[in-house]
Amino acid sequence: MIINHPLLGPRDAQEFTYLGDASLIDRPDWQAEDAADQFHEYVYLRENPAGLHKELWFHEQGDRSWLVVTRNTVTHEITNVELARDVARARGRSK
C-alpha cells in the first residue's frame, strides 16, 4: 500500500506503524459523570466497519507525524490522507 503523505508525498506503508480507529483522537472528558462508561467505550469498543475506515497511522520511519488515513477495509484503497493534527484542530482541540 502507498500512503499519500500530505507533506511528503507518496510513501510506502511499511514506513508507518498502525494504531487503529481514528476515534482514538476523541479522548473522553475524565471529569464527566459517566467517565468510566465513556472510557470503556473509547478504549475497548470499535465500529470495525467493512468499508471506509478512518484510522491512525504513525510515520515512524519518516517525519514521525500522525496521519488520519481514510481507507476501504474491503479493497485496501486509500481515498484520503490528513495530518491528525489538522483533524484534531478542526474539532476545536489544542489551539
Partner 1 sequence: MRYSGLRVIKEALTGHKGWRPAWRDPEPKKSYDVVIIGGGGHGLATAYYLSKVHKITNVAVIEKGYIGGGNVGRNTTIIRSNYLLDGNEPFYELSLKLWEGLEQDFNYNAMVSQRGILNLVHTDAQRDAARRRGNAMILNGSDAELLDANGVRAMYPFLNFDNARFPIKGGLLHRRGGTVRHDAVAWGYARGADMRGVDIIQNCEVTGFKIENGKCLGVETTKGFIGAKKVASCVAGSSSRVMEKAGMRLPIESHVLQAFVSEGLKPVLDGVITFGAGHFYCSQSDKGGLVFGGDLDMYNSYAQRGNLPVVEDVMEGGMALIPAIGRVRMLRSWGGIMDMSMDGSPFIDKTHIDGLYFNGGWCYGGFKATPASGWCYAHLLATDKPHEVATAYRLDRFRTGHMIDEKGVGPNPNLH
Note the residues at the interface with partner 1 (CB under 8 A).
1, 13-14, 17-18, 20-21, 40-41, 43-50, 53, 55, 71, 73-76
Cβ-based nearer residue to partner 1, 24 or 83? 24
How crowded is residue 59: how many other Cβ atoms within 10 Å of its Cβ? 18
Compute the least distance from the CB of residue 23 to partner 1, in Å.
Answer: 11
Nearer to partner 1, 78 or 83 (CB): 78
| Region label for 30, one of left (φ > 0), alpha (ψ between -120 and 50) or beta (otherwise) | alpha
What angle (nearest 5°) sits at the alpha carbon of residue 25, between those of residues 23 and 27?
A: 95
When the beta carbons of 74 and 89 are compared against partner 1, the nearer one is 74
Least Å distance, CB 89 to partner 1, is 25
For residue 68, the minimal CB distance to partner 1 (Å) is 14
Residue 5 backbone class (left: φ over 0; alpha: ψ -120 to 50; beta: rest): beta
Q: Which is nearer to partner 1, 12 or 89 (CB)?
A: 12
Grid cell, residue 90, equals: 478542526
